[in-house]
Structure formats: C-alpha cells, structure tokens
Amino acid sequence: MADVAQEARARSEDDDPASAAPAPLEVRRRFQLPTAFESLHHRNYRLLWIGSLISSSGDWMDQVALNWLVYELTGSAFSLGLLNLCRLVPILVFTLIGGVVADRFERRRLLFVTQTVAMLLAFALAILVSTGIIYRDTQAGFVMVLIVAIGRGMMLSFNQPARQSLISDLVPKELLTNAIALNSATMNLTRVIGPAIGGLLIASVGSAGAFYFNGASFLAVLWGLALMRFPPRVVRASKKGIAADLAGGISYVANRAELRMLVILALVPMIFGMPYMTMLTVFARDVLQVGGTGLGLLTASSGVGAVCGALFVAARGATMNRKRLMLVGLVCFGLSLMVFSMSPWLWLSVGMLTATGFSQQVYMAVNNSLIQEDVDPEYRGRVLSTLFLNRGFVPLGTMMAGFGSDAFGAPLTIGAMASVLVILALGATRLRSARGELSAAPAGG
C-alpha cells in the first residue's frame, strides 16, 4: 500500500503546485528529458530557469541599448567607461552585504523585491527616452542614465547571491551540479541571444523599445517566483549587526581549508583568464588582422564553447570525479588560451577559443557546485556573494592586460597570464595530493 501511495505522489509531482520538495531521482517521469536537462523535471527549478532565460536575454539586450544611448548622448568613449564604472562600483561595495541579506531573509521574496526594482528602473529609463526628456539636456540626461546604472548595480548586488543560493533549495543535492551547469549554459546562451535582439530593436524601434522590452522581460521572473510552491526557508534570527554577520561569513571561509581553496580557485582565475575577452579586439585587428567580421567570429566561438562546456557538466558532471574535473578544466583553460595567444592563423584561433570557452565553463560550473555543496545553508548567501567579487577582479585583470600589451605585446601578455592559470591548477593539485597523503598516514610515530 505504501508503494502505491509513493507512486501516486511521484506521478503528481509536476502537476501539484503545492509540492513541498523536489522529487527524488527515482520518480517515474511521464517523459524523459536528456540528462543535461534533468533538473527541468523539477517544477520550481523549471519556473526559475524559464524566467531567467527571458530576463537575462533582456538584460544583455538592455546593456547594448544602454551603451548605444550613452554614446548617442555624449559621443564619448570616456562616458561609456564611466557608465560601466557606475554599474561596477555598487557591486563591489554591496555584494558582500547582499550575501548577508540573502542569509537573513527568505530568498524567493528577496528575489521578488530585487526583480521588481529592476523592472521599475527599466521602465523609468524607457519613459525618459520615449518622451524625449533625456534628450532635452544631454548633460542632465547622461546624469539620469548614470543614476539608473548605479541603481542597477545595487540591485544586482542583492539579486545575485539570493538567486544562486536559491538554486540549492529547488533541486535535490544529487542534481545540484546539473542545475548549476544548466543555469550557466543558459546565461552564456543569453549572451548571444540578448545582444542580437537588442541590435535589431535599436535598428527598428530605437533604444526606448529595447528598454520597454527589457522591463517586460522581468515579468517572466516575477511570474515564476509567484508560482513556486515549497515550504518557506527557516531563517535563523540574527541579533548581530550586518558587519558582524559579514565578518562571520569571512571567518567561516577562512577557517575551512577546502572551501577556502575553492573560493580562491573561483576568484583568482578571473584576474588572469577572463581579460582575454576584452583583448580579442587587439588580436582581431593587430595580430590576426581579420577586422570586425573576424572579431565577431572569435567572440562567438568562445560563447559556443562556453555553452557546450556547461552542458557537458550538466550531462556528465555528477558521474565524474568533480574536483579532478575542475582542476583539469582550469589547466585546459590556461593551455588553450596560451595556444590562442601564439596562433597566427584565424581558424586555429577559433578552435582554441572554442576550447577556452568550453574548459572555462567546465571549471567554473563544477567549482560553483562544489562550493554550494560544501557550505552550510546558514552561510550560503555570504559565501556565494564572495564569488561575485569577480566582477571587480575582471576589470583589474583587464587593466593589467592592457598595460602589458602596450609594453610587451598582446600575445606575450595573454600567454603569460594564461600560464598563471596552469600553475595555479597544478599547485592546487599538488596541495590536494599532499593533504590526501597526510590524512592517509598512520597516526603515531
């Protein structure tokens, strides 16, 4: 009788909006998804995924339109840099605080608030543009855009830790790697879809239309969050201040050797690895001499590799030694980037950038899942918030790459930075082996 009841509950998992928890892996499915998309069987995760696919596409589309608007207003490349600085600084200042808030409050509700604020900012900008207010005084209009950019940066600081922390509540632990990798694949796919749609909208209905479209895209996330059904997360009441909670999160990471190493491996490669994306312009124009068309091909090849790498982890990551897979991915990230930096041929460069995007996503997706599995739920928001500091580390690395390219040339600079990735991964491998030997040694003497 118990077996019959269990099968009945399994059959109703997708249909019952009040389902209390993700279904176990042995649930009988009415249809079979490919392994890479296994997490989509779970209703709550599926709702978040659909909303994120639409909303993230809108974000990338909006980013293209916003850059276009600022250049249209000012005609200044410096103004574009200032715009992106205004989006970056709030993230660096508030991201760790966002992690504290994600641990103090129910994450789904926090996401609902941040996405609502982001939607209002998008519609406000759309109205300012469509009514012509922003064009009446270009200097004042530019200041309005910067205020919106600062507001978005603050919103992202609280949104990202809550969003990443919520994933662990939507699927069983054994599907966490799959869910994180699938989410990563989706984000990389939207990097291609969003700007393409943004360009079409700017050409057809202007930047105001792109902003209106982005505002409407947030409704998909809000709709998905409203439909989710699971027991509210029990949040431990904290009598400490935000500073004390923040220090507690930092201390938690510092005192756990394995977690500390995972966080280091999440952040440091962003300094030495990711600047290659910005430097592709230099390679396309000066090294490979392939112009704007070649730049588009190089950029797209990296994006395609990233989507494939994330899908590979979603399909196979749970069946492999993930710590080894992460370190292999980091080594391959560095090696493929080194070969790219020395390549004089376009198609070899395309192949190496595809491998770079693939291996980069393998290491990042596995690293993220290992961190989420290793961290206590009470500290998850604070720990994951440290990962979003990479948004500040990438510009730092880009500045280093720029100085190095002016002094020594782009190929030598990117090759040297890529070699750091290989050294870092090999050092982490050696450290893991030493710890394994130490733990296996017999006690006593």
In this prediction, residue 444 has a pLDDT band, given cuts at 50, 70 and 90, of: very low
Of 325 and 235, more confident: 325
313 shares a domain with 225: no
Lowest mean pLDDT among 3-7, 262-266, 323-327: 3-7
259 shares a domain with 217: no
Side-chain-side CA neighbours of residue 368 (13 Å): 28
Is residue 353 within 8 Å of 302, Cβ to Cβ? yes
Q: Which residues contact 256 (CB under 8 A, 6 or more apart)?
A: 374
Lowest mean pLDDT among 200-209, 348-357, 389-398: 389-398
Identify the CATH number of the domain in which residue 141 sits: 1.20.1250.20
Determine, yes or no, domain membership for 20: no
DSSP SS3 for 207: helix
91 shares a domain with 177: yes
pLDDT of residue 233: 56
pLDDT of residue 25: 39
Of 10 and 372, more confident: 372
pLDDT of residue 236: 57
Determine, yes or no, domain membership for 219: yes
342 shares a domain with 212: no
In the predicted model, what is the mean pLDDT of residues 244-255? 78
CA–CA–CA angle 334, 339, 341 (5° rounding): 90
Is residue 305 within 8 Å of 354, Cβ to Cβ? yes
- Secondary structure element (H or E) that encloses residue 112, with its range: helix 107-130
pLDDT exceeds cutoff 50 at 9: no
pLDDT of residue 440: 43
Percentage of residues of the chain with pLDDT beyond 90 = 13
pLDDT exceeds cutoff 70 at 16: no
363 CA to centre of own chain: 13
312 shares a domain with 220: no
126 CA to centre of own chain: 26
Considering the chain, what is the average pLDDT of its residues?
79
* Nearest to 343, CA basis, from 353, 358, 333, 328: 353
Of 20 and 406, more confident: 406
Of 242 and 268, more confident: 268
Range of the domain at 335: 255-435
383 shares a domain with 286: yes
How do residues 370-427 score in pLDDT, each as one tens digit? 888 778 777 777 877 777 777 767 777 777 888 888 888 889 999 999 999 999 888 8
In the predicted model, what is the mean pLDDT of residues 241-255? 77
366 shares a domain with 303: yes
Stated pTM of the model: 0.71
The number of domains in the chain is 2
292 shares a domain with 219: no
405 shares a domain with 366: yes
Residue length of the chain: 445
Percentage of residues of the chain with pLDDT beyond 70 = 85
